[in-house]
Structure 1
Amino acid sequence: MNRLLVMLFLMLTFPVQASLELAFSEVAPGVFMHQGKIADLFTVDSDPVANITYIVGEEAVAVIDTGGSKRAGQAVLNVIRRQTDLPIRFVINTHVHPDHHFGNIAFVDEKPEFVAHARYPGDFDAKSGYYLQRLTNPWFIGTTPIGATRVINETTKLDLGNRTLVLTPHERAHTRHDLSVFDQSSGTLITGDLLFIDHLPTLDGNLIGWLAETEKLEAMPYNQVIPGHGPLQKSKQAFEKQTRYLSSLAQAVRAAINDNIDINTASTTVMPSPGEWKLYGEFHPRNVIQAYKELEWE
C-alpha cells in the first residue's frame, strides 16, 4: 500500500484531531520556548516531541526548529501571530531530523529564509523520503518537508532589529550538520540536539566529534541553554550528564572491540543499565552500533 493510500485509510478510520494549542514560556525577554514531550516521533500520538524556540527582535522574528508536522508548525505560527505581526524573517533548522523541521511547511507563506548548515541539504535529500514513509499518524497528514533556502559554513550573524543571533555550524557531532544559535541579548544558547536532557542522546554523526563540539559549547558565555529535548538549563554544568554518557559509551565500546565482541552482541550487552535516561531501550542499542562502526577504525 503506497503512502497516499495509507493516509486516505487513516483519514477514514481515525478522526483528525482538532487544531493543536501549544504553550510557550518566556524564558528571557523576547525568547519563547515550548518544551516538547519526551517521546519518539515515530510512535507518539501527537507532535511535538522536540523543543521549539522563537525570538522576537524590534524588526523581525526568528523561529528555531518548527516541530515534526504541519500541524505543529501551524500551532507555533498561531502563537507568534497572536503576539506580534512582525515579519518572520528566519526559520532556523538545527538539523535534519524530522521532529525538528517538518513543521517548516506552515511557514512558507511567511516567506522567511530557511537557514541550515551547509551539509544539511545533502542529508535532507537523502533522508526526507524515508522519514515520510514512517510518519503515517493521522495528525501528520498534510506535512511536506521544506528544505533550506540559505546554508552557512561559517559563524554567521542574523539581525532581528537591535537583537543579534550568532549561528555556528558545527563539525560532525550529533549529526553531520548540527547548527547552534546564540542570542547575544539574553545569553541564551539554543543547541538543537547537541544537548539532550532526560531524553537519551541519540548518535547519528560522530561520537568523538560530539565530545569535542561539546567542549566548545561549554566555553561559550551563556546564561542559559535550551536543549533539543528536555527542560531549560541555567547551570554551567548543563552538559555534564550527557558528556558522562557519551564518554562512557566510547570507553565501553572500545573495550568491546578490544575483547573481540561482535557488533550485534555489543549492542545488547554494552552499558545495559539506563540510569536516569528515558527512551534508553529505544535508542541505546543503536548508539552502540553507531559508535562501534566509528571506533573500530581508530
Structure 2
Amino acid sequence: MTRLLALLALIAAAGSAMAAGFDYHLAPRQIAPGTWVLEGKQEDFTFANGGRIVNTAFVVTEAGVVVIDSGPSRQYGEQTVAAIARLTGQPIVKVWITHHHPDHFLGNQAFPPATLSALAQTTTSIETEGKAFNENMYRLVGDAMRDTEVVLPTQSVAPGTVDIGGHRFELLALDGHTAGDLAVFDHRTGVLFAGDLVFHDRTPTTPHATIARWLKSLDTLDALPFKQVVPGHGPVAADNGPIRQTRDYLHWLDGVLKQSAAAGLDMTEVMHLPLPKIFRQLAVIDTEYPRSVSHLYPAVEEAALKPSAH
C-alpha cells in the first residue's frame, strides 16, 4: 500500500510538472542602465536546456520596453514577458528579430503582434523555412516547444536610426550569417546587440552562411563606437574580442576548406582534419565544425573544379 501511494504521488508530481510547463529559469542580468540580457547556455539544443542556447535582451526606455529576439519557444517568450513585468510596469513596444534561425524567433507568440519587427528578408525566410524549423525543434528539445507555432513579424525594419524613449537605436541591415542579419546599436548606452553575426567562445553556426559577406559585416560592426557587445551566443564583452574571435574562426574555416578542395580531399577527410589549438576551446566545436564542412564544402569543391578563366 505504501509503495502504491508513493507511486501515485510520483504520478501526481509528474502531472503537475507537465501542467506547469518547461521552466527556463530566466534570470535577466543588467549590463547597462535599463539594459538586460538573458544569457543562453554554451551547448547544443537538448531536452534539458529547452533550446535556451541563445542570448536575448531587452531595454527599458521611457516610452516602453524594446526586446531583442523572442527566443526558441512560446514558453521562453512567455517567461521573458513575465521577467520583464517583474522589473518594470512599462509595456513592450518593440520586438526586433535579428534573423530567421529558430532560437531567435519562435517565442514570437508571446508578444503583441504589432510589436514584431524584422528585416524584410528575415520575414521572408521565416515564412519559407519557419514551419520546418519549428518541427525540427520539437524533435530536438521536446516538451519545451509545447504549443509553439510560427508567427511572422508584422513590421518591416529599414536601416537607420529610431528614437524610442530617450534611446537612439541604430538599425544595421547586414548579412553573411544569413541572408538578412539585423544588428542594433544603442547610442545612449553604447551596447551593440550583434545577433549571430558575433559568437563568443562558441563555434559559429553556418547553415545559411556566406563567409565573405559575413566578414564584411563584422568590419561594419567593429567600426561602431560600442562599449559592450552582446553576441548571439556566448558571454557579453566590453571590447571587440568576440568580433575578432568570430572573424579569426571564419578566416581559418574559409582557408581550410579552400586548401582542402585544392588538395582534392573528400568531405569526410576534411571533417577529420586536426583543429588548431586556438579553436579547440570553442564550445560545441566537435559538432559545429563537421556541420560547417557539410554546409559549405560542396560549393567550395565545385568552385575548385571550375576551369580557370585565364
TM-score, L = length of structure 1: 0.88
Deviation, structure 1 residue 268: 3.3
The SS at the match of 1:133 is: helix
Aligned partners of 1:246 and 1:230: how far apart in 2? 16
SS of residue matched to 1:238: helix
Q: State how far apart, in whole Å, the 1-side matches of 2:22 and 2:204 are.
A: 32
Question: For residue 153 of structure 2, what is the aligned residue in structure 1?
Answer: 148
Pick one of 242, 245, 252 that aligns with 1:238. 242
Out of 274, 283, 287, the residue aligned to residue 282 of structure 1 is 287
Whole-angstrom distance in 1 between the partners of 2:295 and 2:24: 35
**Cα separation, 1, equivalents of 2:81 and 2:190:** 24
State the SS of the aligned residue for 2:111: helix
> Percent of pairs identical after alignment?
28
Give me the whole-angstrom Cα distance separating, in 2, the residues matched to 1:264 and 1:116.
37
Q: Secondary structure at the match of 1:254?
A: helix
* Counterpart residue number, 1:62: 66
The answer for the alignment partner of 2:251 in structure 1 is: 247
Structure 1 counterpart SS, 2:116: strand
1:193 equivalent in alignment to 2:200: no
Q: Distance in 1 between matches of 2:273 and 2:240?
A: 33
How far apart are 1:238 and its partner, in Å?
Answer: 3.0
Say which SS state the counterpart of residue 59 (structure 2) adopts: strand
Farther-moved stretch of structure 1 (122-131 vs 214-223):
122-131
Select the structure that is richer in helix: 2
The match for 1:176 is 179
Residue aligning to 2:84: 80
Range with greater deviation from structure 2 (235-244 or 68-77) = 235-244
CA distance in 1, matches of 2:291, 2:282: 15
Q: Which runs of 5+ in 2 are unaligned?
A: 1-13, 305-310
* Counterpart contact for 1:88–1:112, Cα < 8 Å: no
What CA distance in whole angstroms lies between the structure 1 residues aligned with 2:135 and 2:272? 27
CA positional deviation for 1:121: 2.1
CA distance in 1, matches of 2:291, 2:174: 22
- Quick one: distance in 2 between partners of 1:51 and 1:101? 12
Number of residue equivalences: 283
What one-letter code is carried by the residue in structure 1 that aligns with 2:186?
D
1:199 alignment partner, SS class: coil
CA distance in 2, matches of 1:106, 1:232: 25
- Aligned counterparts, 1:1-298, within 5 A: 15=18, 17=21, 19-41=23-45, 43-108=47-112, 111-136=113-138, 137-152=142-157, 154-171=158-175, 173-203=176-206, 204-269=208-273, 271=275, 275-296=280-301, 297=303
Query: Retained in 1: the 8 A contact 2:22–2:75?
Result: no
Distance 2:25 2:49 in 1: 15
2-side partners of 1:223 and 1:105: how far apart? 32
Structure 2 CA distance for partners of 1:134 and 1:237, relative to 1, 3 Å = closer
Q: Letter of the aligned partner of 1:187 in structure 2?
A: G
Cα gap change, 1:19 to 1:255, in 2 (>3 Å): closer
* 8 Å contact kept, 1:42–1:134: no
| Deviation string, structure 1 residues 251-282 (Cα, Å, up to 9, x no partner) | 11110111122234323337487511111122
Distance 1:272 1:238 in 2: 18
Give CA deviations for 1:149-201 in whole Å, capped at 9, x if unaligned.
1223x423222211121111103x11111110001100100001111112210
Q: Kindly tell me: are residues 121 and 44 of structure 1, through their superposed partners in 2, closer, same or farther at Cα, counting changes over 3 Å?
A: same
Q: Distance in 2 between matches of 1:18 and 1:265?
A: 41
> Offset at 1:19?
4.7
CA contact (8 A) 1:191 1:226 kept: yes
Whether the aligned pair in 1 keeps the contact of 2:222 and 2:243 (CA below 8 Å) is yes
Q: Provide, for residues 183-229 of structure 1, a one-character-per-residue CA deviation record: whole Å limited to 9, x for no partner.
A: 11001000011111122101122011111111111111100100001
Unaligned runs of at least 5 residues, structure 1? 1-10
Aligned pair in 2 of structure 1 residues 127, 236: CA closer, same or farther (>3 Å)?
Answer: same
Q: Which moved more, 1:179-188 or 1:284-293?
A: 284-293
8 Å Cα contact 1:174/1:206 also seen in 2: yes
What secondary structure, in the 3-state scheme, does the structure 1 residue paired with 2:152 have? coil
Q: Is the deviation greater in 84-93 or in 41-50?
A: 41-50
1:6 matched to which residue of 2? none
Q: Is residue 118–residue 155 contact of structure 2 (8 Å, CA) maintained in 1?
A: yes
